[in-house]
Homo-oligomer: A and B are copies of this chain.
Amino acid sequence: MRDTYVLGISMTRFGKYIEKSLQELAYGPIWEAIGESEVDPHDIGIIFAGNAYGGLITGQESVRGQVIMREAGIGDIPIINVENACASGSTALYLAHGAVASGEVDLALAVGVEKLFCGDTGQSLKALSTSADLEIEGRMGILFAGIYAMRVRAHMEQYGITREQLALTSVKNHDHGALNPHAQYRERTTVDEVLNSRMIADPITLLMTCPLGDGAAAALIGTKEMALRMEKRPVKIRASVLGSFGFPGKDGPSIAARVAKRAYKETNIEPKDVQVAELHDAVSPVELYLYEELGFCGPGESGRMIQERKTWYDGPLPVNTSGGLTAKGHPAGATGLAQVAEIVWQMRGEAGERQMSPLPHIGLVENGGGNVGGETAVVAVHILEARE
């Protein structure tokens, strides 16, 4: 296995694009990623297209990647449509990385796209609900906000996490979103506003949840030789680990903990080495138990961590400087690649008003999706490293 690098990466601003098709959304990021990579697009050897709900929302099923690439004017090479719920974009990246790492191709494109806003919230929520196991969660009539609420509530009760601490995750991510021109929500909020907004699934309030939205992102993955020929700071994919629901038992480690452990082990990177992270805050309070599961703090210490503002962009371990799913938005298929984009931009010094200083060397992305077998169905963890 050889090293792989992010040569080019791009995303649309996330938001509501009811008039645009999947292929119109994806066109810009695909060609921007190719453009900044300084490679010949004819050298792309394989394409992985991540999308979760296109069939249910737009009617275009099963050849979505081909339709996207027909619009982009690229064909003939293998195009593979991948779905893994809200981790579809990361799954495309996992396979693109693998194709280059194995030597199968020198250059692979990962593209992620989603249209979730269709003017009918019921239809959008119904599409999202199909990422749970219909025979189990489906028959219970439970939606994702409810699943997250149960986990957050258990975490609160176990460690005495407070509602104010939960709300601070949303305040932080909205602070970051206000600084990110790619974010769907660009307004700041306060603890009071968050706690007084409409209750969705106790303790999750409206301002803790991510919006429905649309968007696309693309990343071009290539070899070290290609990366060294670029002017931009090379960003290496140190680890790309994908895991699934298991059967961990009541007190076993969560899927995020298991997948992150594999990524740390593969790289000899420890949680304390991570300088910036993008985490899957589909509802912002999940950040807290993720801090613990990923080893950013000890068990039960996450509430204090957010209260001490350690994970704001100017803190010691910035988390979701993009605004996270909560403020940047969460067009499912695009999310994982957009998370990587934020880390790459922070490493290159291209993060504008939310830029960390000094530039980070080691970053982590955690992207989750679906719910099967009593836990998150899919978690992808990528560890990125910028060369000096």
Report which A residues bind B (CB closer than 8 A): 1, 21, 23, 52-53, 55-56, 58-64, 66-67, 69-70, 75-85, 88, 91, 94-95, 98-99, 101-104, 127, 130-135, 138, 242-247, 258, 369-373, 377-378
Take A62-B85, A244-B75 as given contacts and tell me if A67 and B1 are in contact as well, using a CB distance cutoff of 8 Å: no
The answer on a CB contact under 8 Å between B243 and A67 is no
Q: Cβ of A132: which chain B residues have Cβ within 8 Å of it?
A: 63
* Complexed CA–CA distance, A172 and B66 (Å): 33
Taking the full assembly, how many copies of this chain does it contain? 2
The answer on a CB contact under 8 Å between B369 and A245 is no
Q: Cβ of A94: which chain B residues have Cβ within 8 Å of it?
A: 78, 80
The answer on a CB contact under 8 Å between B130 and A59 is yes
Q: Cβ of A246: which chain B residues have Cβ within 8 Å of it?
A: 75-76
Checking B58, B61, B80 against A91 with a beta-carbon cut-off of 8 angstroms, the contacting residue is B80
The answer on a CB contact under 8 Å between B77 and A244 is yes
* A333: min CB distance to chain B, Å: 9
* Complexed CA–CA distance, A383 and B134 (Å): 38
A–B complex contacts, Cβ < 8 Å, 24 sampled: A55-B130, A56-B56, A59-B130, A61-B83, A62-B130, A63-B133, A63-B369, A63-B371, A63-B372, A63-B378, A66-B244, A66-B370, A66-B373, A67-B134, A70-B373, A76-B246, A76-B247, A76-B258, A77-B243, A77-B244, A78-B242, A78-B243, A79-B378, A82-B83
Take A63-B132, A67-B133 as given contacts and tell me if A81 and B83 are in contact as well, using a CB distance cutoff of 8 Å: yes
The answer on a CB contact under 8 Å between B244 and A61 is no
* Complexed CA–CA distance, A56 and B60 (Å): 10
The answer on a CB contact under 8 Å between A63 and B80 is no
Q: Cβ of A99: which chain B residues have Cβ within 8 Å of it?
A: 98
Q: Cβ of A62: which chain B residues have Cβ within 8 Å of it?
A: 52-53, 83-85, 88, 130-131, 369-370
The answer on a CB contact under 8 Å between A75 and B370 is no
The answer on a CB contact under 8 Å between A66 and B104 is no
Q: A63-B84, A63-B377 are in contact. List 4 more A-B contacts (CB 8 A).
A: A58-B134, A61-B127, A80-B84, A95-B95
